[in-house]
Chains A and B, each alone.
Chain A
């Protein structure tokens, strides 16, 4: 794991033409808006900063940069170093419906040059947005054409820039943002390894780790036949389902959407069992397991027991007292744990954590 990746504050620039949908995107992903709420948003003036705590040890420092020509001019000249310095990720939003695509790309080139100059190590994601406005049969072709054109204007980032087709009206938005977040998470590998072990122990078909506030997927582990699941977009779909459900709970209970969290949701059917529960302060774990009460109950208990391990990963170096308290009850069960089957897996986990 390289040192740059361990940095806790990651600066993310969100740029693109005025009206491309940057702020809409941001409010849906991070502020619990639903797609139709974004009509209320006005134009972004200059830069709107937001700090988003993601998985405890990762703080996203999101710069939502107003896209009107005057502002962009200013970013490129007077504020050049201030805006483009030490950027981890640039997210550039293109409006597929834009009438001046050429002009958009010229402006994009100028921004890319500034980025290359100030933060050459940054990662660039281009989101081609509002895809819902294009007829379904034309989507793929149009997206590829645009992506190719933009790539040719990407200067030094030509080979590393990534393109995503997005729309706020379906799960494609979650798909793109999941990739961006995955790139930013410093210890994804460790988390994955731990999840893999957990999945083996509880005999889960699939485990998916979701961030709590945004409902974005952090990572997932799929075992056995489940990898043939025909719904390849299931991770984003579940993100979207969870988000919608959160809204609906918030509306009914009167709790603000930010904190209308369930402790657990279970679904049991004759074909599968599924539950999603809180894992750490910032994450929910979804588990799809075979249809058996026995497996279901073992999985639930084991996931409860493994919480402290994940909590350690989550908070990185310094444990905060608040979290210690929150998991005090889990610590009580430490004793129980030794007698549990899980002790098999514990040794392995310990090795893993040593690395960390």
Chain B
């Protein structure tokens, strides 16, 4: 805990308003939280990072080559983070590896277990890693993805999931490590579950999360919105939602909705040459994309999307009670929300307001 005092000096020149945005373990470095993807060979680590961060169609992950060295990738979004893909065939606690370099500044360790394969060995290695890490970096989040569950039947899936949790926890407590900070997720790249799991992993790394949730809660209360998500547009990970119970269905429809808006924006957002002899109507104030779907059956608003900044979009699922004339209330409140968010993420604010 010697390096804790360092964490008081923020890495940016902007004064912090809410939190430092840093984790206790992080040194003064670049302040980018790091996600480590670990697991046995062929457990699906590279596929996961390609599908989530590079939008590779899941079917094409079949053709990915085996990763032979550590792959480091930086993600620029509402906050910068790095994803390191660690090939499964090495023991990273071997003296020949620079342990410090790998595990310093780590935000979360994601351990991928292939649920369709023999997983005892994977669990053994996972526990070894956890035990090695906990003495030196006790506050690392350990996230276990029980992966490739799409191929399993419902019953078998939940049995496997429970079995893995049981084994990991038993073994850790045998070594005297009770209540380890390990979370488990069932994932597959063929549906939305991998994105949902990543969302939860990333959310733990956002120090502003409670603030964001409070903002979304008050937005929902003010406009009677059923569910509101704040999405990272590029990766389709949601970085916050209001605190009402969430289900994968709501996430799915919002995520699909982003696709619709992005696809259509791509088609009609091309650079048009200025039309000659025709004064272009240029209006200010609607540069942020906005979208709304009204349902036919009840004539109510159903889905609402608003671009918050370069990286983030707000998507609201309206409840049944949402007549069309309520839209102005929503517009106003979303504007307020947007302003509040600029204070929470000063960085995005800076980029947006450069001309002023």
**Which residue of B is nearest A244, CB measured?**
B256
Residues facing B in A281-326 (CB within 8 A) are 288, 290-295
The answer for the CA separation of A251 and B294 in the assembled complex, in Å, is 17
Distance between Cα atoms of A47 and B281 in the complex (Å): 56
What is the interface size of chain B, counting residues whose CB is below 8 A from a CB of the partner? 39
Known: A229-B268, A230-B270, A252-B252. A268 touches B296 (CB 8 A): no
Asked whether B269 lies within 8 Å of A272 as measured between CB atoms, the reply is: yes
Contact B296 A261 (CB under 8 A): yes
Contacts of B174 in A (CB 8 A): none
A288-B296 CB under 8 A given contacts A224-B275, A293-B283, A294-B281? no
Interface segment, A4-12, A137-145, A231-239?
A231-239
Residue numbers in A under 8 Å from B281 (CB-CB): 290-292, 294-295
Total chain A interface residues with beta-carbon distance under 8 A: 43
Whether A231 and B267, one on each chain, are in contact in the complex, defined by CB atoms closer than 8 angstroms, is yes
Binds A, one of B86-94, B98-106, B258-266: B258-266
Q: Which residues of B contact A206 (CB under 8 A)?
A: 268
Task: Produce 1/0 per residue, B236-251, CB < 8 A to A.
Answer: 0000000000000110
Please, how many angstroms separate the alpha-carbon atoms of A78 and B267 in the complex?
51
Residue numbers in B under 8 Å from A230 (CB-CB): 270
Which residues in B have their C-beta under 8 angstroms from that of A229? Answer: 267-268, 270
Residues of A within 8 A of B265 (CB): 267, 269, 271-272
Looking at the assembled complex, report how far the CB atom of A326 sits from the nearest CB atom of chain B, in whole angstroms. 11
Does the CB pair A237–B263 fall under 8 Å? yes
**A164 interface residue, CB < 8 Å from B?**
no
Nearest CB to that of A269 among chain B residues?
A: B289
* A274–B263 alpha-carbon span in the complex (Å): 12
- Residues from chain A with a CB closer than 8 A to the CB of B250 are 252
Q: Which residue of chain A lies nearest to B317 when distances are taken between CB atoms in the complex?
A: A252
Tell whether B287 is near chain A: CB-to-CB under 8 Å: yes
- In the complex, B295 has a CB within 8 A of chain A: yes
Mark each residue of chain B from 274 to 310: 1 if its CB lies under 8 Å from any CB of chain A, else 0.
Answer: 0100001111001111111111110100100001000
Contacts of A267 in B (CB 8 A): 261, 264-265, 289-291
The residue in A245, A267, A278 that gathers the most chain B C-beta atoms within 10 A of its C-beta is: A267
User: CA A210 – CA B287 in complex, angstroms?
Assistant: 28
* Chain A, 229-263, CB within 8 A of any chain B CB: 229-231, 234, 237-238, 241, 244-245, 248-249, 251-253, 255, 259, 261-263
**A194: shortest Cβ distance to chain B, in Å?**
23
Q: Across the two chains, which residue of chain B brings its CB closest to A230?
A: B270
- A266 contacts the other chain (CB 8 A): yes
Assess whether B272 is interfacial by the CB under 8 Å rule.
yes
> Are A225 and B287 also in contact (CB < 8 A) when A251-B252, A263-B295 are?
no
Provided the pairs A268-B290, A292-B283 are in contact, do residues A255 and B264 lie with their beta carbons within 8 angstroms? no
| Complexed CA–CA distance, A291 and B265 (Å) | 12
Known: A267-B289, A274-B268. A291 touches B252 (CB 8 A): no
A272 and B268 form a contact (CB under 8 A) = yes
Q: Are B286 and A271 in contact (CB under 8 A)?
A: no
Q: Map CB proximity to A onto B106-140 as digits: 1 under 8 Å, 0 otherwise.
A: 00000000000000000000000000000000000
A264 within 8 A of partner (CB): yes
- The answer to whether B253 has its CB under 8 Å from any CB of chain A is yes
Check if B5 is an interface residue, CB within 8 A of chain A. Answer: no
| CA A272 to CA B287, docked complex, whole Å | 10
Q: How far is the CB of B306 from chain A (nearest CB, A)?
A: 10
Which 7 pairs show the lowest CB-CB distances between chains A and B? Answer: A270-B287, A248-B256, A252-B253, A269-B289, A292-B281, A263-B296, A272-B268
**Known pairs A262-B296, A274-B264 / 7 extra A-B pairs, C-beta < 8 Å:** A228-B273, A241-B263, A268-B289, A269-B290, A272-B268, A291-B286, A292-B283
Q: List 24 A-B contacts (CB under 8 A).
A: A226-B272, A231-B267, A237-B267, A238-B267, A244-B256, A244-B260, A245-B260, A249-B253, A255-B297, A262-B295, A263-B294, A263-B296, A264-B292, A265-B260, A265-B291, A267-B289, A267-B291, A268-B291, A269-B269, A269-B288, A270-B288, A271-B269, A292-B283, A294-B283
